[in-house]
Amino acid sequence: MAPESRPLRFALAITCIDGRVQRPVVDYIRRTYGVDYVDLITEPGPEWALTDPARAGVHAAIQRKARFSVAGHDAELIAVTAHDDCLGNDADPGTRLAQLHAAQRLITGWDLGVDVVGLWVHMDGKVEEAATAIPAPRVRRPASAASRWAWPPKKTAREHRERRPVTSDDPNYSVMIREMCPSTRSARNSRLRICRSLKPMSLASSSMCGLTNFSSLGWRFPVLKSFSFAQSAINSSHCRSSSG
């Protein structure tokens, strides 16, 4: 029967972003399970992304996309994959194989009503079931390459709480201002643009001259949140315009 005269059969593969992996995975699934197309969800080192508690956001995104594929394309199989020489997961092969088994169990627990398999992809294009896979030893990379592609560290909740706006009382105020404004001229021009843009605004002079909190204007003038001269710029500009 021609593919056009019957419903298309889909599967879903959760793979690494590595371009060497996706074609062997798609070919293997189509050949082994007889599907017509394979939807793809890509994430660096998916076996780690799905099992690392610190990456709950990535985990939730992958789960949402998997449900979308199963509901929209009626995918009848989900394959979670790992591969040799993965740039997104620097753990040893034994640990990564254990992560792949854990990711397979995790996806099965999503209760999507489909079979879930684990696949290991070798760099020669060979694909094995995770239960019988023997990963190749990890390829060593130069230190510069490893540091260049290292996963960016996440900020802790304490670091987020300690973030504070730049104020003129800060001992490093001048340094931070120079980092935000490449030159004194650009900072001066920013002040002039603020004053000029505020003049046409038809706001009550009484409320503007007594303004003590301009955070509500942040959507219109984002720069107001960063510079301590913003308060005086607002007050002086509108007091002059109201008196004139």
pLDDT attached to residue 235? 54
Residues 100 and 138: beta-carbon distance below 8 Å? no
* CATH 3.40.1050.10, the chain: domain bounds: 3-148
Residues 229 and 219: beta-carbon distance below 8 Å? no
Q: Which of 101, 22, 112 is nearest to 64 (CA)?
A: 112
Domain 3-148 has CATH 3.40.1050.10: yes
pLDDT attached to residue 137? 79
The conformation of residue 129, written as its DSSP 8-state character, comes to: E
Dihedral sign from CA coordinates of 14, 61, 49, 149: positive
Beta bridge partners of 14: 41, 80
**In what order do the strands lie in the sheet containing 127-129?**
37-42, 10-15, 77-83, 115-121, 127-129
Ranges of residues in the chain whose predicted pLDDT is under 50:
1, 144-148, 184, 195, 198-228
The conformation of residue 66, written as its DSSP 8-state character, comes to: H
Beta bridge partners of 117: 79
User: What six digits make up the tokens of 81?
Assistant: 């994959």
Dist. CA 104–CA 44, nearest whole Å: 16
Dist. CA 123–CA 72, nearest whole Å: 32
Burial of 100 (0-12, 13-18, 19+ CB in 10 A): buried
pLDDT attached to residue 178? 53
